[in-house]
């Protein structure tokens, strides 16, 4: 017979295995990193750790809440798609009501904490939640391939929020960083759409690949890569990044552009997936470079 401590540990592991996948930890972590980078991009003389920790916690809760809400609403199409059918809600390991309560709780805590930190910061965080849950997921995802634009705007809100918390305003650097994420989103998502084209078709989710065709989608990805790299480079220059940082950013952007153009000229599923993975590494690397200057 196990000890009470063993029982508690087993229960915690069960909860983690059931609920943690609802947060899409890799996606949430990447968006959280952009928020932290946005805050550090102001390069304060002394980083206030209590503010940085509050930023990270509030963003994690708000992003996690919106992600859980998305999974709750999309559980029917997740069950259809082979890529997502093992998710907790789609596989019926969690009841929808449980996920909905968790999503609401995390969302309220995250947005509420954000508003207490700063009304402007809280407003931007709420805007990200609203665009993601209401505009993208509830309204447009099942109706239009252009939903990706609103999803991209939502994805750009964490970095804008972090910048706004540090500077107390919406400035040009914050807008450029938001645009960088917005233009990065197609590189990431559209590549994903092409790789799992059959899944999206089975779930009746309109994507650029299904509506406009693969060649046009690849062209959009290449253009988006150029625009994302330009926006990121301009923002890095405006915050006074070092010559070494700018050079490293240029190398990362060149790799992104080369992969995107190769996907246009020599399309293949293997190259598409490489671009999908590299796009995440590019954004993570760019945000780290931006944060450290």
Q: Does residue 53 fall inside a structural domain? A: yes
Domains identified in the chain, total number:
1
How far is residue 75's CA from residue 176's CA, in Å, rounded to a whole number? 34
Q: Which of 64-73, 87-96, 183-192 has the lowest mean pLDDT?
A: 183-192
Rounded mean pLDDT of 108-132?
Answer: 97
| Residue 17 belongs to a domain | no
Predicted local distance difference test score (pLDDT) of residue 8: 65
Q: What percent of the chain has pLDDT over 90?
A: 61
The span from the first CA to the last CA of the chain, in angstroms, equals 55
CA atoms 36, 259, 235, 120: torsion sign: negative
Mean pLDDT of 105-121: 97
Does residue 14 belong to any structural domain of this protein? no
137 in a structural domain? yes
CA distances from 116 to 70, 119, 121, 131, 173 (A): 25, 7, 9, 21, 24
Looking at residue 90, the DSSP 8-state letter turns out to be: T
Q: Would you say residue 13 lies in a domain?
A: no
pLDDT at 195: 86
Domain ranges, residue 219 = 23-292
Q: What average pLDDT score do residues 183-187 get?
A: 87
The answer on pLDDT for 1 being more than 60 is no
Give the model's pLDDT for residue 260.
84
Residue 15 lies in a domain: no
Q: Determine the pLDDT at residue 273.
A: 81
- Asked whether residue 216 is assigned to any structural domain, the reply reads yes
44-70 tens-digit pLDDT:
677 788 999 999 999 999 999 999 999
Quickly state the pLDDT bin for 192 (edges 50, 70, 90): confident
Q: Which of 76-80, 105-109, 271-275 has the lowest mean pLDDT?
A: 271-275
Lowest mean pLDDT among 105-114, 128-137, 198-207, 271-280: 271-280
Measured CA to CA, the distance from residue 207 to residue 141 in angstroms comes to 9
Q: Which of 287, 263, 286 is nearest to 274 (CA)?
A: 263
Name which of 11-15, 191-195, 266-270 the model is least confident about. 11-15
Q: What is the DSSP string of 235-282?
A: HHHHTT--HHHHHHHHHHHHHHHHHHHHHHHS--HHHHHHHHHHHHHH
**CA atoms of 124 and 140, how far apart (whole Å):** 21
What integer pLDDT is reported at residue 10 of this predicted model?
Answer: 62
Residue pLDDT, tens place only, 224-282: 988 998 999 999 999 988 888 889 999 998 898 898 889 888 888 888 888 888 888 88
- The verdict on residue 9 lying in a domain is no
Is the Cβ–Cβ distance between 184 and 272 less than 8 Å? no
Average pLDDT rounded to a whole number, residues 194-222: 92
pLDDT band at 131 (very low <50, low <70, confident <90, very high): very high
CATH number for position 117 = 1.10.357.140
Residue 98 has pLDDT above 80, yes or no: yes
Return the SS3 of 83: coil
Task: Retrieve residue 161's tokens.
Answer: 């929020």
Choose among 282, 290, 30: nearest CA to 173. 290
Rounded CA gap, 106 and 229, in Å? 33
Stretch among 92-101, 126-135, 254-263 having the lowest mean pLDDT: 254-263
């Amino acid at each position: 017979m196990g000890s009470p401590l063993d029982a508690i540990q087993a229960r915690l592991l069960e909860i983690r295995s059931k609920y943690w996948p609802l947060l899409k930890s890799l996606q949430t972590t990447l968006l959280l990193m952009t928020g932290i980078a946005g805050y550090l991009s102001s390069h304060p003389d002394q980083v206030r750790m209590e503010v940085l920790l509050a930023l990270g916690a509030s963003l994690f809760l708000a992003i996690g809440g919106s992600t859980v809400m998305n999974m709750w609403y999309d559980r029917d199409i997740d069950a259809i798609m082979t890529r997502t059918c093992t998710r907790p809600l789609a596989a019926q390991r969690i009841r929808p009501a449980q996920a909905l309560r968790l999503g609401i709780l995390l969302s309220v805590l995250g947005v509420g904490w954000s508003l207490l930190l700063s009304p402007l910061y809280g407003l931007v965080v709420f805007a990200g939640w609203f665009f993601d849950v209401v505009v993208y997921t509830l309204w447009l995802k099942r109706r239009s391939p252009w939903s990706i634009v609103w999803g991209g705007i939502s994805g750009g809100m964490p970095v804008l929020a972090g910048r706004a918390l540090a500077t107390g305003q919406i400035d040009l650097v914050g807008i450029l960083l938001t645009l960088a994420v917005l233009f990065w989103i197609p590189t990431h998502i559209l590549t994903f759409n092409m790789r799992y084209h059959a899944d999206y078709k089975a779930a009746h989710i309109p994507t650029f690949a299904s509506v406009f065709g693969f060649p046009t989608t690849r062209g959009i990805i290449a253009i988006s890569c150029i625009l994302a790299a330009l926006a990121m480079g301009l923002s890095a220059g405006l915050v006074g990044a070092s010559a070494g940082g700018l050079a490293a950013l240029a190398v990362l952007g060149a790799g992104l552009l080369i992969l995107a153009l190769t996907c246009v000229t020599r399309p293949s599923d293997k190259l598409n997936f490489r671009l999908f993975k590299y796009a995440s590494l590019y954004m993570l690397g760019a945000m780290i470079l931006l944060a450290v200057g």
